[in-house]
Structure formats: structure tokens, C-alpha cells
Structure 1
Amino acid sequence: MLSLYSNLRCAALLLAACAISQAQTVHAPYKDISIGLDATRLRIAALPAAVHQVAWGFATGECGDEHWGNFDTEAFARQNVEAYGRSGVGYIVSTGGEAGIFTCASDEGMRRFVARYASPRLLGFDFDIEGRQTPEQIRSLVQRLRVLQQRKPRLRLSFTLATFAASDGSARSLNALGEQALAAIREARLDHAIINLMVMNYGPADAAHCVVRDGRCDMGASALQAARNLQQRHGVPARRIALTAMLGVNDVQDNVFTPADAQVLAAGARRMGLAGVHFWSIDRDQPCPPGAPRVSPRCHGLADVPAGTFGALLASAR
């Protein structure tokens, strides 16, 4: 009875801390909040029933005064934090992204930012750093997160970074921006921060970029190679590595992520004990209608691959 009580009390404390264990593998696809947003109530569009964890994309601007679009941030946060609390779906607040940047110059701003999204369903925060942050902005953000880690040591913090997946023996991994971010993370001693690799858009099929098979980048094998390279070149342990794939047709024409790649990625992530498996995005996990562009935010571009296929396959990484 004492053991049962202790276990229940521990679970309650973890829930109250708005956090999850760093050892738990998180399967949280990204949701582009701008697609299907209820403009009146500012509610994020309903998720597929099989989705139990999700990453909201993307908050931009300065922490504490961040924005998601041309609407009231406080109202957006309140509506969706309450809705996710009722639904039981865990959420990661993701910032930055390809089209914007997120900065944080003060601990007070970080406190406001974190408090705005706090709930028992909050899993953590993700910082997508893709191209326009200065070294000073990256260092400032990381220093704020150092204080946050001390206050909430179980809160999941991740950095989403571009990667190569070299298979030529060089272990080529992060680009220059990613290496700056990793250096700042180490300098601040963010010991639990997760490096979330964007396993997509490697470039032309070349062993310096990816694992090449039949004249193309093998996207499943390349994703796992990227994780191994991060371990070998930068010494990041598997428990602190996550992978994010882009479903179907990537921006680079010859980089195509198929259901077979999803199976390889999920099995490998489970075998390696990675921290997370994500994908861009829930909105793309469906075939394209006639006339859709080659790369669309609303579909994956592969014929005869039914809606929900990728989500089901990648969920097996848990």
C-alpha cells in the first residue's frame, strides 16, 4: 500500500510540474496552427483521434510578447490551453520555424512566455532555429533557458536544427548555424536539452549529404544516419536526439519520404532509444487533390497513400 501511495504521489507531482520524464520517447507531429484555425474563437483545428501529443507551430517574436498571427496572443493561448486540458492531448509549444524567428532577451519575458501556456498537458517548448537568428540572439535565448531549466528541470526543451546525413565517413552533421546553437547549449550547460534534427531537404543525392541508394537519398536510412552522425561528431547521446521528417515530397525534388521510409525511421528510433519522433505535418498527412502544387502545406504529394498513413507508421516508434 505504501508503494502504491508513493507511486501515485510521484505521478501527481510530475503532472503538477507540467512536465514529462526526459527518458520518455515523445511522438508529437507538428500542427500548422494557421491551417483550419477557427478565426472567431481562435481554436486550433481538431486533430485526428489517434493524435495524443502534438507540437503547435510556430510562435515568433520576443518571448512574453510573442505572436502566432494577426490576432490576440493571450486569447489564443487561453482558448487552446483550456481546450487541450479538456481533451487530454499533450502539447509542445514550438517557436521560430522557416518563416520567422523567436528571441528572448530577459528572464522576465521568458517567465511570461512559459506561464501563458502552462497546464498539466504542457510537454515542453521547442526552438526551431533555421537561418536568421544572430549568434547573440541564440546565446541570449539559451541563457534564459538555463534559468528555466533550473526552475523546471523536468520541462522538455528541444532545439530543432537542420542536418546533413553524410554516409561518406565524414560524419557531416549540423550546419554552421546548428553548430553555433549546440555550442551555446553546451556553454550554458543545458544538460537535458534535446537536439531535434530536421531529417529532410538534404540536397542532391551525394554521400556527402545523405545515404544514397538507386541514385536518390534514402530518406529512412538517412534519418538514422543523421542521428548516428550527431552522436559520433558531437557526442550527443541517443536519449537527447529526436528526428523530424517532412512527409512525402520535400522541397528538394529528389528527397521524397515514403511510407517505407517511415517504417525504417520508426523502427530505428525505437531500437536506438531516441528522445522523439516528429513529422511535418499533420496537415500534410493526406494525398493531394488534382492541381495542387508539387509541395503543399496541405498534402504530401504521393499518389495512392491514404490520409493518416504516415502518422500511423511513425507512431510505432513509441
Structure 2
Amino acid sequence: MRYKKPSPVITFSALCLLLLSGCGINSEDGDSNEKTAYQRLAANGIERPPAESALAPGDSRKASAGPGFPARYAAPYIETWDSPAAMKRAREASGVKYFNLAFIVDAGGCNPKFDGTIELDDPGWISAINSNRAAGGDVIASFGGANGTEIGVSCKSVTSLKAQYKKVVDTLKVTRIDLDIEGSTLANVAANDRRNEALAQLQREYAESGKRLEVNYTLPVMPSGLTGEGKKLLQNATSHGLRINLVNIMTMDYGSKMNMGEAAVSAANALHSQLRSIWPSRTDAQLWAMEGNTPMIGVNDTRSEVFSLANGQTLVDFAKSKGIQQISFWSLKRDRECGPDGNDVSQNCSGISQSDWQFSRLMKGVADDAAPLRVSADDSSTPPATLTPTPTADAGGHPAPTATVKPRPSNTSSDVSTFFTTGQVLCESGRPVVGVWVQTAHSSDSRFAAWKPVGNGSTADWWTYLPRNEPYSLHVGCGGTPDRWGTENWTGIFSGPQNSFNCDDIAGDPNYKTCVHR
């Protein structure tokens, strides 16, 4: 995805704009240096604008762990060369709470930074990430983009590259990364092979320690599907054993005027067929859940291409009908109408008539019925329909509980100590979730959780009330029936009001029957 550079001639009005908002890069100008946004500002004697959010007293430069992601979600790309406060403004105005952090590129010498200039533990960005996670959201670390140097290119060995990916993951405490690979980087076969091997090794190492690293690839596309280079990159990933969470297609800049909503749907359908050829054992539902779709809102770099609000609704409706996992857009800062004096539509506004954050609110609709259930203990509304398994002594091998799922308490003083806990579980094989058992530190508190299928049933929301906030592990049934599970999959020990897990119920996998926290 692109962002534009400022003109070498800096007028007073342009200087004011740059000081307030930062700038981007135009990869179409023939500049072979591919400098990032703030490197170009510095070259013109312009300093980075100060962050609008600072750490509160007593905070550190350490990221807190995030809650993970629902089965479907909207995650616009947020410019890391802009103010970190934009994340909070967007969340509070639109309800969007998942973001792709664009972009992490090399600062020189195999050294990843935001925009190639901003430290990964930058206090403003760490504070924004922590606040977003505290509000129930999460972030994805996005590498690459159209400009700058992706570290898969600059780090010349698998060992050094793996170490730098690990530094980013550990510093930001992300469980999901995005690799925006396009242009000359996509054509770099050696870098693609090195990247896939480094990430496959890192995935296995995290899994051995009970952690999970999910990898998204963001690739260029035409309405007819991925390019040959994009498909070869994914085939190479599978040859290294790299597990791909989703393939996110950039439904933008095709080169000529067309209906952009229909083009995005056409590209998604074509991608579905291409994914089937790479992962032939997966079901249609699993393949749709491997898709992401990212248009450039409003006026594209090809100015005759305009992605309208109506096109956005077409894409959201299609994504919901198919179970596409992620809808994104380029970019968050552009989600507003241009001002009366005009603004650069490549970086500051959409170029169409809209209200502020209107695309964010629209795209969020893809997840309206997919988010994990969040209910407080004093909420008196009626819970959704549940599947409550019949307890049996041998179901999955765990002991029979003394009662089925605890009913919702009334709002009385006797229920004040009741602790509500919830989350989401996923059976990676695509088989349905058939039961969730909560094993607590006090065995008498152990019980079946209530649960509700999401989508094709391989994902389920779960929830229960416990007498106290105590450590617990989940035993998740994948396949079979509620009375006799196909496989029983175990989590580690956790506590708190919300935890979500992905369960590897695929026989032969090194983490078979293990559930990893998102």
C-alpha cells in the first residue's frame, strides 16, 4: 500500500501541514532510495511532530498483552508516522478497536522500526496500544508496504531475520503480524524464502513455549486474483511449514476505471479458488475464513478508481455472507472528507463526500455478529441461546461436574461475589466445538461453560459464572458430540474476565490437543 512523499519545495502552507500531520511517500516518482516518511521530513529540515498522547506517570515503555481477535473483524491500517492519539480518536468515534500498525521497515542494518525511524518501544505508541487493549481491542504489527525496506530483504540470514521478527513480537506483545509484500520485494525470491523459513521456525519456537504467532500475508491482486508471484510466495510458505492465518488482498489500483465494489468481490472469489489449490484439504468455510480484503477508500492512486461508501457496503455484505475474517482499508487518516482548501487525497483525506470515520463505522459492520460475547455480572438482559452439554463421567475423560452451567444470577446482593468469565475458542481442523469444560483451582467450582457456535461452528463463544476469580484451564471438545468428544484439547492455566484460545486438533501436528492463548 502506498503513501506519498512531500514535494522537495516546501511552501509555508505545506510546512504547516507537515508539522501538524506528518507525510508519506510516492513510490511512483522514481526515487530509488525509498526513504520513509520521516526520513524525507528530516531531509527537508522538518522534525517529527510531537506525540499527542504521553504515558501517564508510573507507566513504562512495556506493552501489555492483548485479548486477541474475534472470528471476523475490521482492522484499518493506521499510520505510525502520524500521532498515536489517532487510535483513540478512531476507537471512540467509530467503535473500531483493531488496527494494523503500518509499517515496520528497516532503519538500516537489519533493524526494524516504525516507519524506519520510530523506536518500537516509543512511549506514545506503547501507551496507545495499551489503552486500546484495555478497551478490548488489539493490534497487528504490519511489516513492509510499498516503500522502505522490509526486513526480510535487509536481514541476510534466517537467524538474523528471525531474531528481528521476534524482537518486534516480544516488544509489542502481538500474537498476529502482517506482511505487506509488493513491488520489487514480492519479486525477491530469496527474501521470500528466507522470510518464510524464519517465521516458520519462530512459530514452532513460540508453540513449544505455549505461545502463538499468527501470520497474515497482504498481497497485490487484480479482479482475476493473485499474481503468479503472490501465489508462488504462498506455496513457498507451505513448503517451509509456515502456517498462514489469512491472505489479505489489496483491492485497489488496478489501473483503470471500474466498479470498485464489484472488483473487490471478484478478487475475493478468485482468491478463494487459488487458496483451494494451495490448501486442497480445507473446507470452503475454512478457506473463506483465510481471506482478508483491503480497499483504498475514496480516490485511489489511479484517480479514475473511486471506492465509494456504497462499494464499502457491497464488500461488507459479501464478507459477512462468506465468513471472510478481516476487512481493512487504506488508510485511517484518510477516513474523512477533504477540507475546503483541498488536501492530498493520497494521505490526508478520501477525496469523496463523507463524514469523519464513516468508512470505519461501515467496515466495523463485518463483525457485528462475530465479536466474543461480553456480559457483565450485573447485566440483566437475556443471554443468547446456548448449548449446554449433558455431563457424563467419561465425556472427553474429565470428571463429571456436580451441575450443568450455572444459570444467570439475579441482581441481588447474594450475587455480588459471582465472577463472570468469557471468551472464544476455535478448533483449527474446522470441526465443530462440541463442549467447553472449565477446570478450576477449587475442584468443586469446575463446571461446563455455556457456549454458542459462531459461523460454521468451528469457533464458539463461551461463558460461565464462577463463585470467585480463580485460575482455571479449559478443556475444549472438537468434533464428535457433546457426550463424546472427538478430541479433548487443553489450555494452560489462566484467570481473569476474558480469555480466548485456538485449539490444535489436527492429528500429527506437533501441538496436537493443545490450545494456545490468543
Q: TM-score category by the smaller chain? A: 0.7 to 0.9
Paired with 2:297 and 2:240, the residues of 1 have a C-alpha distance of 34
SS of residue matched to 1:93: strand
Q: Deviations over 1:248-291 (max 9, x none)?
A: 01111221111111111111111111121111111010001134
| Residue of structure 2 equivalent to 1:150 | 204
CA change 1:115–1:121 in 2 (3 A) is closer
Q: Give unmatched runs, 5+ long, in structure 1.
A: 1-15, 38-42, 166-171, 206-216
C-alpha deviation, 1:46, in angstroms: 4.1
Question: Structure 2 matches for 1:269-284, cutoff 5 A?
Answer: 269-284=319-334
CA change 1:27–1:297 in 2 (3 A) is same
1:316 and 2:365 correspond: yes
CA change 1:174–1:241 in 2 (3 A) is same
CA change 1:95–1:119 in 2 (3 A) is closer
Letter in 2 for 1:220: G
Paired with 2:360 and 2:215, the residues of 1 have a C-alpha distance of 23
C-alpha deviation, 1:82, in angstroms: 4.3
More helix by proportion, 1 or 2? 1
1:100 and 2:148 correspond: yes
SS of residue matched to 1:92: strand
| Residue of structure 1 equivalent to 2:306 | 256
| Residue of structure 1 equivalent to 2:77 | 30
CA change 1:150–1:253 in 2 (3 A) is same
For structure 1, which segment, 186-195 or 47-56, has the greater mean C-alpha deviation from structure 2 after superposition?
A: 186-195
CA change 1:289–1:83 in 2 (3 A) is closer
Paired with 1:164 and 1:17, the residues of 2 have a C-alpha distance of 37
Q: Deviations over 1:85-134 (max 9, x none)?
A: 23323111111101123133334543443344437963411110111221
| Residue of structure 2 equivalent to 1:86 | 131
C-alpha deviation, 1:245, in angstroms: 1.1
| Residue of structure 1 equivalent to 2:114 | 68
| Residue of structure 1 equivalent to 2:401 | none
Note if contact 1:266-1:314 (Cα within 8 Å) is conserved in structure 2.
yes
| Residue of structure 2 equivalent to 1:239 | 289
Paired with 1:18 and 1:157, the residues of 2 have a C-alpha distance of 16
**Taking structure 2 as the reference length, what is the TM-score of the superposition?**
0.49
1:292 and 2:342 correspond: yes
CA change 1:25–1:298 in 2 (3 A) is same
Note if contact 1:63-1:112 (Cα within 8 Å) is conserved in structure 2.
no
Higher relative contact order at CA 8 Å, sep ≥6: structure 1 or structure 2?
1
Note if contact 1:193-1:240 (Cα within 8 Å) is conserved in structure 2.
yes
Aligned residue among 249, 265, 285 for 2:315 = 265
Aligned residue among 247, 252, 255 for 1:200 = 252
C-alpha deviation, 1:19, in angstroms: 7.3
Note if contact 1:64-1:113 (Cα within 8 Å) is conserved in structure 2.
no
Paired with 1:292 and 1:140, the residues of 2 have a C-alpha distance of 44
C-alpha deviation, 1:81, in angstroms: 3.0
Aligned residue among 255, 267, 271 for 1:226 = 267
1:162 and 2:220 correspond: yes
CA change 1:69–1:225 in 2 (3 A) is closer
Would you identify which runs of 4 or more consecutive aligned residues in structure 1 move more than 2 Å? 16-21, 43-47, 67-72, 78-83, 103-123, 151-156, 189-193, 290-296
Q: Deviations over 1:212-236 (max 9, x none)?
A: xxxxx22112212111101123426
1:118 and 2:170 correspond: yes
| Residue of structure 2 equivalent to 1:174 | 226
SS of residue matched to 2:225: coil
Greater Rg by CA:
2
